[in-house]
A and B are shown apart, each in its own frame.
Chain A
Amino acid sequence: MMEILGLLSDGLWLSLQPTNLILILIGVTLGLFIGAMPGLGSVNGVAILLPITFLVPPASAIIFLAAIYYGAMYGGAISSITLGIPGASTAVATTFDGRPLALSGRASLALITAAIASFIGGTVSNVLFTAFAPPLASVALSFGNPEIFALMLLAFATFVGLGGDDIPKTVFSICIGLVFAAVGYDEISGAPRLIFFDISGFLHGVNFLVLAIGVYGIGEMLWTIDSTRGKITSTDAKMSVKGIASDAKEGMKRGWKGTAIGSFLGFFVGILPAAGATPGSLMSYGVAKMVARNPKEFGKGHPGGVAAPEAANNSASTGSMLPMLTLGIPGSPTTAILLGGMVIWGLTPGPRLFTDQSEFVWGLIGSFYVSNFFALVINIAFIPLFIWMLRMPFTILAPMIFVLSVVGGYAATKDMHDVWLMLGFGLGAFFLRKLDYPLAPAVLAIVLGPIAEPTLRQSLLLSSGDPSIFFTRAIAGPITVIAIILILLPLFKIIWTKIKSSSAETPAQ
Chain B
Amino acid sequence: MKLTRRIALGFMFATGMMASVVTTTTPAHAWEPTKPIDFVIMAGAGGGADQIARFLQSVAEKKDLTVRPLVPNNKGGGSGAEALIALNGASDKDHSILVTLNSFFTTPIRQPNLGIDIQTFTPVTMMGVDPFVLWVHKDSGIKTFEDWLAKVKADNGEYVMGGTGKGQEDSIVIAWMEKNFDIKIKYIPYKGGGAVAKDLAGQQIMASVNNPAEAKGFFESGDVVPLIAFSDERLPNLPDTRTVKELGKDFSYYNQRAVVGAPGMSDEAAAYYRDLFGKIYDTEEWQNYMKSESLEPLPMDAATQKEYWKTQVDRHNELLKAIGG
Q: For the complex, what is the distance from the CA of A327 to the CA of B216, rounded to whole Å?
A: 11
Query: Is B55 an interface residue, CB under 8 A from the partner?
Result: yes
Contacts A192-B81, A353-B217 given; does A144 touch B166 at CB 8 Å: no
With contact pairs A185-B77, A190-B79, A327-B201 given, residues A340 and B46 touching in the complex (Cβ less than 8 Å):
yes
Docked-complex contact B58 and A330, CB < 8 angstroms: no
Judged by a CB distance under 8 angstroms, whether A336 is at the interface is yes
Could you tell me if B72 and A205 are in contact, using CB atoms closer than 8 angstroms?
A: no
Given contacts A51-B62, A203-B77, A273-B194, 11 further A-B contacts (CB under 8 A): A50-B54, A144-B199, A145-B199, A190-B110, A200-B82, A204-B75, A328-B197, A339-B46, A340-B55, A348-B220, A350-B218
CB atoms of B46 and A351 under 8 A apart: no
Partner of B45, one of A144, A205, A333: A333
Query: B81: which A residues are within 8 A, CB to CB?
Result: 185, 192, 203
Contact B194 A187 (CB under 8 A): no
| Cβ-based interface call for B296 (8 A) | no
- Cα separation A47 to B69 with both chains bound (whole Å): 13
B61 contacts the other chain (CB 8 A):
yes
Please tell me if A43 contacts chain B, counting CB pairs below 8 Å: yes
B58 touches A274 (CB 8 A): no
Residues of B with C-beta under 8 A to A231: none
A-B contact count (CB 8 A): 137
**Given known A-B contacts A144-B202, A333-B45, A337-B46, A184 and B77 have beta carbons under 8 A apart:** yes
When chains A and B are docked, how far (Å) is the Cα of A424 from the Cα of B198? 38
Interface-lining segment among B1-9, B15-23, B184-192, B239-247: B184-192
15 contacts between A and B (CB under 8 A): A47-B72, A51-B62, A140-B198, A185-B81, A188-B166, A189-B166, A190-B166, A190-B167, A200-B89, A203-B78, A204-B75, A339-B51, A344-B58, A351-B201, A458-B190
Contacts of A458 in B (CB 8 A): 188-190
- Say yes or no: B223 contacts A351, CB within 8 Å: yes
CB of B165 within 8 Å of the partner chain: yes
A192, closest chain B residue (CB): B78
B75 close to A144 (CB less than 8 A): no
Q: Of A50, A140, A203, A454, which is in contact with the most chain B CB atoms at under 10 Å from its CB?
A: A203
Query: In the complex, A273→B191 CA distance in Å?
Result: 12
Indicate with 1 or 0, residue by residue over A413-427, a CB within 8 angstroms of chain B CB atoms. Answer: 010000000000000
B165 close to A141 (CB less than 8 A)? no
Contact of A352 among B57, B78, B220 (CB under 8 A): B220
Asked if A329 CB lies within 8 Å of chain B CBs, one says yes
Contacts A192-B78, A352-B221; is A141 near B201 (CB within 8 Å)? yes
| Residue A323 lies at the interface, judged by CB distance under 8 Å to chain B | yes
Q: Output the least CB separation between A116 and chain B (Å).
A: 32
Q: Is A435 in contact with chain B by the CB < 8 A criterion?
A: no
Q: Is A349 an interface residue (CB 8 A)?
A: yes
Whether A43 pairs with B77 at a CB distance below 8 angstroms is: no
Say yes or no for A461: interface residue by CB 8 A criterion.
yes
Give the contacting residue for B58; candidates A50, A144, A323; CB below 8 A: A50
Q: How far is the CB of A271 from chain B (nearest CB, A)?
A: 12
- Count of B interface residues, CB-CB < 8 Å: 48
Tell me, in angstroms, the Cα distance from A484 to B221 when the chains sit together. 40
Of the candidates B58, B203, B204, the one whose C-beta lies within 8 Å of that of A145 is B204
Q: Do residues A333 and B46 form an inter-chain contact, with CB atoms below 8 A?
A: yes
Residue B73 interfacial (CB < 8 Å): yes
Closest to B62 in A: A54
Instruction: Give the CA-CA distance A383 to B220 in the complex, in Å.
Output: 48
| Least CB distance, A357 to chain B, in whole angstroms | 12
A462 in the interface, Cβ–Cβ < 8 Å? yes
Q: Which of B45, B51, B202 contacts A43 (CB 8 A)?
A: B45
Q: Name, among B190, B198, B221, the residue most crowded by chain A CB atoms within 10 Å (CB to CB).
A: B198
| B94 at the A interface (CB under 8 A) | no
In chain A, what residue has the closest Cβ to B69? A51
B287 vs chain A, min Cβ distance (A): 13
A353 to B203, CA, bound (A): 21
A51 neighbours in B (Cβ, 8 Å): 57-58, 61-62, 69
Interface residues of B in 40-91 (CB under 8 A from A): 45-46, 50-51, 54-55, 57-58, 61-62, 69, 72-73, 75, 77-79, 81-82, 85, 89
Contacts of A358 in B (CB 8 A): none
Cα A185 to Cα B166 in complex, Å, equals: 13
Bound CA–CA A145/B190 (angstroms): 10
Q: A327-B198, A350-B217 are in contact. Are A340 and B51 (CB under 8 A)?
A: yes
When distances are taken between beta carbons in the complex, the residues of chain A under 8 Å from B204 are 144-145
Interfacial chain B residues near A343, Cβ < 8 Å = 51, 55
Q: Which chain B residues numbered 194 to 233 have a C-beta less than 8 Å away from chain A?
A: 194-195, 197-199, 201-204, 216-218, 220-221, 223
Residue in B75, B111, B203 whose beta carbon sits within 8 Å of that of A192 in the complex? B111
- Chain A residues closer than 8 Å to B69, beta-carbon distance: 51
Q: Which of B58, B198, B203 contacts A329 (CB 8 A)?
A: B198
- Tell whether, in the assembled complex, residue A188 and residue B165 are in contact, meaning their CB atoms are under 8 Å apart: yes
> Which 8 A-B residue pairings sit nearest by Cβ, starting from the closest?
A350-B217, A336-B46, A141-B202, A144-B204, A351-B221, A328-B217, A204-B77, A185-B78
Q: Which of A143, A203, A414 contacts B73 (CB 8 A)?
A: A414
- Say if the beta carbon of A395 comes within 8 Å of chain B: no
**Contact indicator B55/A344 (Cβ below 8 Å):** yes
Q: Are A185 and B194 in contact, with the CB atoms below 8 A?
A: no
Q: Which residue of chain B has the shortest Cβ distance to A47 in the bound complex?
A: B72
A351 to B197, CA, bound (A): 12
Take A144-B199, A340-B46 as given contacts and tell me if A187 and B73 are in contact as well, using a CB distance cutoff of 8 Å.
no
Write out the residue numbers on chain B whose beta carbons fall within 8 Å of the beta carbon of A246.
Answer: none
Q: Are A329 and B197 in contact (CB under 8 A)?
A: yes
Is A454 a contact partner of B191 (Cβ separation < 8 A)?
Answer: yes
Cα distance, A454 to B189, chains bound together (Å)? 9
| A190-B165, A340-B46, A414-B73 known; A328+B58 contact, CB < 8 A | no
Q: Are A329 and B77 in contact (CB under 8 A)?
A: no
Q: How far is the CB of B300 from chain A (nearest CB, A)?
A: 26
Q: Chain A 337-363 against B: per-residue CB contact (8 Å), 1 yes, 0 no?
A: 101110110001111110000000000
Cβ-neighbour of A351 out of B57, B72, B167, B217 (below 8 A): B217
